[in-house]
């Protein structure tokens, strides 16, 4: 896969490590179980858990888990939803979320070529007109924090009112993930490399 969804991480300086040190041995049974099951699923405990969630009341971590479970209630195609999350993470340069999106698309056997070409969604033949319209809306909303009415009108020609609200939900909730990681200098966990080693 090309350069992890074509993100502009090459512009970033070398990582200096997370701003807060990881907590390797969390307090509380629930967080210990979360660490255990995450290690079983991914081959490691994810950095956002060790840096952020381990320092917060359990309810905060449960909120993050709820975001994931709510995504399963979306009527948008799963690939469209992941494209949207990946585009928001790409624009915000959240390296952890870019890597996580790549891991998920490989796990679900989605179209790798489409994700590789995300930076060229406007012209690449892998994208449908509906996907282009959604990604243009998502790009404007994420980059400019506002949307041109023509961009919205173009997107609304392809999606129901509920699906439009789902697209907004995906952008907004992806920002929660992105800003949490960026704010604590959490970079890629190299999940795809871990997955390749486990094969």
The string of DSSP codes covering 73-142 is: T--S-HHHHHHHHHHHHHHHT-HHHHHHHHHHHHHTT--HHHHHTGGGTTT-TTS-HHHHHHHHHHHHHH
Task: State whether 142 and 80 are in the same domain.
Answer: yes
Please give the Cα distance from 58 to 71 (Å, whole number): 21
Q: Assess if residue 16 is contained within a domain.
A: no
Residue-number span of the structural domain to which 174 is assigned:
74-199
Tens digit of each residue's pLDDT (9 = 90 or more) over 185-194: 999 999 987 5
Please give the Cα distance from 90 to 35 (Å, whole number): 27
Please give the Cα distance from 80 to 18 (Å, whole number): 31
- Of 41, 64, 87, 70, the closest CA to residue 189 belongs to 41
Q: What angle do CA 155, 72, 141 make, to 5 degrees?
A: 35
Mean residue pLDDT across the chain: 91
Whole-number pLDDT of residue 9: 45
pTM (2 d.p.): 0.90
Task: State whether 105 and 198 are in the same domain.
Answer: yes
Residue 69 CB partners (closer than 8 Å, separation 6+) = none
Helix (H, G, I), strand (E, B) or coil at 22: coil
The pLDDT-based confidence of 65 (bands split at 50, 70, 90) is confident
Task: State whether 96 and 185 are in the same domain.
Answer: yes
Whole-number pLDDT of residue 185: 98
Q: Assess if residue 4 is contained within a domain.
A: no
Whole-number pLDDT of residue 194: 58
Whole-number pLDDT of residue 193: 76
| Largest distance between two CA atoms of the chain | 51
Query: Would residue 32 be called left, alpha or beta, if left means φ above 0 and alpha means ψ between -120 and 50 degrees?
Result: alpha
Task: State whether 179 and 128 are in the same domain.
Answer: yes
User: In the Cβ-directed half-sphere of 1, how many Cα atoms lie within 13 Å?
Assistant: 25
Q: Assess if residue 13 is contained within a domain.
A: no
- Quick one: average pLDDT of 130-136? 98
Please give the Cα distance from 104 to 2 (Å, whole number): 15
Q: Assess if residue 123 is contained within a domain.
A: yes
Considering its fold, how many domains does the chain have in total?
A: 2
């Amino acid at each position: 896969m090309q350069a992890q969804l074509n993100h502009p991480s090459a512009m970033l300086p070398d990582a200096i490590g997370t701003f807060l040190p990881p907590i390797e041995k969390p307090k509380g049974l629930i967080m210990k179980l979360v660490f255990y099951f995450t290690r079983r699923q991914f081959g490691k405990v994810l950095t956002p858990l060790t840096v952020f969630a381990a320092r917060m009341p359990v309810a905060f971590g449960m909120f993050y888990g709820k975001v994931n479970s709510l995504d399963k209630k979306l009527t948008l195609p799963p690939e469209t939803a992941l494209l949207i999350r990946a585009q928001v993470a790409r624009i915000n340069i959240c390296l952890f979320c870019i890597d996580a999106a790549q891991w998920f698309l490989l796990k679900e056997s989605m179209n790798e070529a489409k994700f590789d070409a995300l930076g060229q969604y406007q012209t690449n033949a892998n994208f449908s007109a509906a996907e282009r319209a959604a990604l243009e809306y998502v790009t404007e909303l994420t980059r400019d924090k506002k949307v041109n009415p023509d961009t919205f009108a173009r997107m609304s020609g392809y999606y129901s009112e509920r699906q439009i609200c789902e697209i907004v939900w995906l952008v907004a909730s992806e920002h929660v993930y992105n800003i949490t990681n960026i704010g604590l200098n959490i970079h890629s966990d190299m999940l795809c490399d871990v997955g390749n080693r486990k094969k």
